[in-house]
Chains A and B, each alone.
Chain A
Amino acid sequence: MTSVRLVGLDFGTTTSRCVAATARLSKNAVTGRQELSDIREVFRSPIVLTPFGQDRLDLRRLEEHLDDWLSAAAADTQEIFGGGALVTGLAAQQPNSSALVELIRSRVKDLLVATAGDPCLEAWLAFQANAGSISRARPDRPDRWVINLDIGGGTTNIAVGRSGEVLRTGSLFVGARHIEVEPGTYRIVKLSRYARAMLDDLAIAVGPGDRLTSPQLDAILDWQMELLESALAGDRAVFEKPVARLHEQVAFHPPSELQNPIVCLSGGVGELVYKMLRSELPPSTTQFGDLGIDLAARIAKSRWKARPTEAAPLDAGRATVYGLLLYATQVSGSTVYLADSAVLPMRDVPILGRITDDSTDAEIQDILQLASRSAVGGCVVVSLAQSDGQTVRTLGERIGSTLRSAEIPAATRLVLLVRENVGKALGGYLSQWGSVPHKLVVLDEIEPLDARFVQIGALRDQVVPISFYGMN
């Protein structure tokens, strides 16, 4: 059992933070899968306000935070095995958010996935961190649905799932900080473009320097609640209006069989709701300089039956960063096929498609040729109807045969992901037991997510860390 270090970095609309932990790589004696276990937090940064300059992120101050946090999180960044860094919410909407991603990448190299504006990934991570254990607690009840609403400063990320598996995600620009006010008052300091559109729709003619009246505040909160409830109910009529569509970052389509879900809340606003449900003394009016407290109060009185926060394993306000820490990285099985371990790590590898037992030779050839045209290589998900020897042999030999007949260049870096524990055998048959020159990687025991990219770390103690991003 190897000890590894995990790091999560979350740069959000309102706040930013970092968490680091140690974990053990071990085999789950029930499932037989490699997992990260015995996770122990070793560093938790203070929550800082995400520094903004004039209409953009303040990269200089962010760099200071980043360097301070990384040096506290890991004595040597090379120790880092997994986790992730996300620029989320309105921070991801800033024109220089990609520069922040590059800054992070310059520090963590290929050890952590780092990306901006990936709302479905955010929703997925928040679900796993905040509601995953609740969702997994009753594997005997597949009809037990759980919805997680991760309500932060800029966005509400929605994920619904059962038995620990997220089935649908969505995201709305509904959050605490679209209208910034002077703390303790309702005097407007700043409006996001989404807030501007909403106020226009409500015919509320206010701007920076104006004070919101009580009826105006009610109207704003009613508007936001209607949008949230319509999304959850799958009521698409509301989103016919351009202003509602503007607020819809990713449309949420609830499953038709969704009934009586358990509702979990996370994010800064979600955490406030729980405090109110527990009758803790609420913060004073607009203490945080936004409408988060008011939005939380409205949600606390809503018809949703929010699950008490003590059921959540981690504090709801940090769901995204804990999600990054704990769930952004999957661990492969310990019997992967690696033609050349020097080919790893790999970053920004596009997921090109799926090969199944039913795929035609032409379909296999098309995918392999796509991989050959990608400078960083290509990733293919392999779905096996069965994992018996004959199936593995047949499909492995077919892909290998196509690799040779289609004259795929030897320099092509091809990554196959397979759910079953057959990586070494599939790679063996595909490569004619190591006799083809291609830089082939077969990672097994991976649950492929509906994403566009993967980042693959280096081999460590027989396993390989892998992160999905660019989720659909």
Chain B
Amino acid sequence: MRELTHCNDIPVPDPKPDRIYSAQLLDREMQFVGLKRLLGAADYSKAGDRHAGLAAEAEDIREAARSALSDLTLEHIYEHPLTDDRGRVDSVMRVNYDIDLDVFSPIASLTLGDLKDRLLSAPGNEVERIGRGLTGVMAAALAKLCDVHELIFIARKCSRPTQARTLLGAPGTLSSRLQPNHPTDDPQGIACLCYWGLSLASGDALLGVNPAIDTVENVESLLKLLDSVRRRTGAPSQICVLAHIKTQLACLDRGAPVEVLFQSLAGTEETNLAEFDISVDLLDHGYRTMAERGALHRVARQFMYFETGQGSEFTYGRHHGIDMTTTEALCYGLARRYDPFMVNNVTGFIGPETHRDSFEMMLANLQDHFMGKLLGLPMGMAPCYTLHSQTILEGQQIATQLLTAAGANYFMDVCLNTDRMLAYFDTSAHDVQTLRELYRRTPAPEYLEWAIGRGILQKEADGSVRRGPQWGNPEQFCDSPEEFAELARRTPALYGRETAGPRPANSVMRRVKFNQGAARAAIHSELRIDDLQRLANFRVLETTAKDKEAHLNSPEAGARLSPASLARLSPEAKQVQIVVSDGLSAEALHHNLPDLLPTLVDGLTSRNISQGQPIVVRYGRVKLAEQIADTLECDLVVFLVGERPGGDALASRSLSAYLVYRLTGAALAEAARFSGNSRAKWEQTVISNIYSGGLPPVEAGAVILEKVLQILAHKAAGNRLLALLKSSTP
């Protein structure tokens, strides 16, 4: 076990006032106030940095910043720790200074430009050694100076193998993390995806589920399920349920097989505390506990697993003026403290507010891989996307080609690229096998032996490893084909098991791509106001999002009414106000409202509930409901909005109903007492998955009505309503 230096014992220079950095470009002198601004301007332009006002506005400004950055010494970076909004060095930054000073001191006088050149010419072991003397900010600064070839060339020199049951990241290997996520944590569905993935030679890095429900009972049950799958198949790998670290430690206390401890990290202390509910002390505790009594503590040299990705700090508004690449590098400086078995980078997961398109996602992934490897981390990569960004499958595939060239330890295996639970798109087992065959890579050695023994893989005469006769046959792990068919019955988005070479067969890919295409079309569809007016006499309002592009790229824009629309509203004091908005799928409104709205209105009218004239708002987000409730002074807004489409064509028409209750009088005090939040002004109950394949719209109308009546009767919504209903049930 690595000795952990207490955070406060790590030497960090005192923060200093911002200085002005300048660079001469032809006859212009460009200035950047403070290191944060300089780092932001020196980076490739990405949506999150643009929204944060950190990205350079033009290419010449960016190059000027890079010139200035190139000339800074490592010592200068060291002496200028980046601070939070209160001018404080936070715990994440402090941990980043836990470097090998014996390595750092001799190179402190090098400029970043010099260091980049040295890394390009140095052998691999020297690059690895230098990495131990660098902070996250230094790695980020280097990343901003590197072009694509350099990001790949330097990273490729670093080998970061780690050992649990399998040896991950050894030269010549390419592993995969099997992610059998299921929207309801259905054990049969998860087993189905595990068997299929293992039959495709995936999962040598990990069998890891993101739980839909983060409770100790559920996570323990999932751990036992994965353990049983591992034992049944005999696959040499390790298991993990990617719940919160506290949940996993509680499972460990109950004797569950916690083999690898997972946690998502952010690059600022404030994000970690406020959003992820973690601290350095908690991570230290988790690391020590796993070293003492983790399920693999006698077997594994490493047992921690972290997930990161550019942009979470920005999305939560807790980035302190630090750009996305740098906050990402700070995550790595924190992860390095725990000598992790795996680090998984999921840049692209958040959406267009951080990475607008394939190009931004690709570059960010190469930067992340470079920084992580340089800082000594076993980087697995998950170049991924959501359908409301402009990133596409082919952009993701180009990223995997480049990252394989750069030496990524592993990619994800999300069955047919479609995550059934998280509604995003990642790499697949087919992708990993394709890359292995293209680049002559193999799985981890222990796993390879198992896969060859089962006929999943086979060794060719030239020493390469290819698909064997059992590749892609999940039934081999079941007692009968019928058993697998039963598992498949509970697993959505299984578009077919046919293959062509290492790829899914054309018929399968056509279904995958069609479903994505239909879902993307739903996101970009526009509301047809005239059609809606035939259903009800809507008031038509606008948000501050001026067009679809602004709406998709900036969640804030759709959260407020435009000044003109706001001016049209005044207090009406009705009980219920129905508001409909496209959100992320206008089609969801057009397909559901014709059945839903009449049922809801019939019920409200029959029960003598007063209603305001219904409202339709283009480019709206859920937060808008609060502003409308306050302005109209109604008791409750029923906000019907299109959900973010996943990878299923039908589900791209899925609608949610947010019942936003405006707290007044005694309810305000009750809500504050219940939640412990004295600033809470609204409570919210959500009914989701409304579409023909989920909760049918006519039934949804009746379900919403029932909830409305309960909310009005109990003057409460959300968890407080549930508690009141529970207490009133005999």
Contacts and interface: CB of A to CB of B under 8 A. Distances in A.
A32 B703 contact: no
A137 B699 contact: no
B698 A28 contact: no
B490 interface: yes
Contact of B698 (A38, A138, A388): A388
A1 B189 CA distance: 15
A204 interface: no
Contacts of A420: 696
A335 B703 contact: yes
A388 B697 CA distance: 8
Interface in A417-472: 420-425, 427-429, 432-435, 444
Interface string A306-334: 00001101000000000000000000000
Interface string A373-414: 000000000000001110011000000000000000000000
Nearest to B490: A28
B486 A311 contact: no
B702 A428 contact: yes
Contact of A421 (B598, B607, B695): B695
Interface in A288-317: 310-311, 313
Contact of B188 (A38, A337, A422, A427): A38
A428 B603 contact: yes
A30 B595 contact: no
B182 interface: yes
A133 B697 CA distance: 32
B705 A433 contact: yes
Given A311-B480, A433-B606, A392 B184 contact: no
Contact of A29 (B479, B483, B491, B606): B491
Contact of B482 (A37, A134, A388): A134
A393 B600 CA distance: 12
Contact of A1 (B213, B492, B598): B213
B603 A433 contact: yes
B517 interface: no
A388 B595 contact: yes
Residue in B185, B480, B594, B694 whose Cβ sees the most chain A Cβ within 10 Å = B480
Given A26-B186, A389-B595, A424 B703 contact: yes
A358 to B, nearest CB: 20
B485 interface: yes
B706 interface: yes
Interface in B251-301: none
A258 to B, nearest CB: 21
Contacts of B189: 29
A423 B699 contact: yes
Given A37-B187, A137-B481, A311-B480, A432 B489 contact: no
B485 A133 contact: yes
Contacts of B699: 335, 421-425, 444
Contact of B695 (A335, A337, A429, A435): A335
A337 B706 CA distance: 10
A37 B189 CA distance: 10
Contacts of B698: 387-389, 392-393, 422, 425
Contacts of A32: 693-695
A211 interface: no
A29 B696 contact: no
A310 B479 contact: yes
B602 A393 contact: yes
Given A28-B490, A433-B603, A37 B702 contact: no
Nearest to A427: B702
Nearest to A31: B489
A275 interface: no
Contacts of B706: 424
* Interface SS, B side: helix
Given A425-B699, A433-B607, A389 B599 contact: yes
A29 B481 contact: no
B337 interface: no
A65 interface: no
A27 interface: yes
B601 to A, nearest CB: 11
B696 A1 contact: no
A32 B483 CA distance: 21
Contacts of A311: 480-482
Given A37-B187, A137-B485, A433-B606, A425 B490 contact: no
A245 interface: no
Contacts of A44: none
Interface in A60-110: none
Contacts of A190: none
Contacts of B595: 388-389
Given A26-B184, A29-B491, A422-B696, A428 B481 contact: no
B158 to A, nearest CB: 41
Contacts of B486: 133, 136-137, 313
B188 A29 contact: no
A18 B481 CA distance: 28
Contacts of B482: 133-134, 136-137, 311, 313
Which one of B596, B696, B698, B706 has the greatest number of beta carbons of chain A within 10 Å? B698
B183 to A, nearest CB: 5
A29 B695 CA distance: 12
Contacts of A136: 482, 485-486, 489
B701 interface: yes
B420 interface: yes
Contacts of A435: 606
B188 A37 contact: yes
B184 A29 contact: yes
Interface string A13-30: 000000000000011111
A139 B492 CA distance: 15
Interface in B678-730: 693-699, 701-703, 705-706
Contacts of B490: 28-30, 37
Nearest to A391: B698
B703 A30 contact: no
Contacts of A337: 702
Contacts of A138: 485
A30 B489 CA distance: 7
Nearest to B696: A421
Interface in B416-449: 420
Nearest to A26: B184
Contact of B599 (A37, A393, A421, A444): A393
B491 A30 contact: yes
B703 A389 contact: no
Contact of A389 (B182, B485, B598): B598
Contacts of B606: 432-433, 435
A1 B184 contact: yes
Interface string A127-159: 000000110111000000000000000000000
Contacts of B481: 137, 311
Nearest to A435: B606
Contact of B602 (A37, A137, A310, A433): A433
Contacts of B185: 1
B594 A29 contact: no
Contacts of A428: 599, 603, 702, 705
B215 to A, nearest CB: 10
Contact of B184 (A27, A335, A387): A27
Contact of B702 (A28, A137, A335, A387): A335
A311 B702 CA distance: 44
18 contacts: A1-B185, A26-B186, A29-B492, A30-B490, A32-B694, A38-B186, A313-B482, A389-B598, A389-B698, A393-B599, A420-B696, A422-B699, A423-B699, A425-B699, A427-B702, A428-B702, A433-B606, A433-B607
Rank and list the top 9 A-B pairs by shortest CB-CB distance, nearest first.
A389-B595, A137-B485, A424-B702, A425-B702, A433-B606, A133-B482, A389-B698, A137-B482, A311-B480
Given A37-B186, A38-B188, A137-B481, 14 more contacts: A1-B184, A26-B186, A27-B184, A28-B490, A37-B490, A137-B485, A137-B486, A313-B482, A313-B486, A392-B698, A393-B698, A421-B696, A421-B699, A424-B706
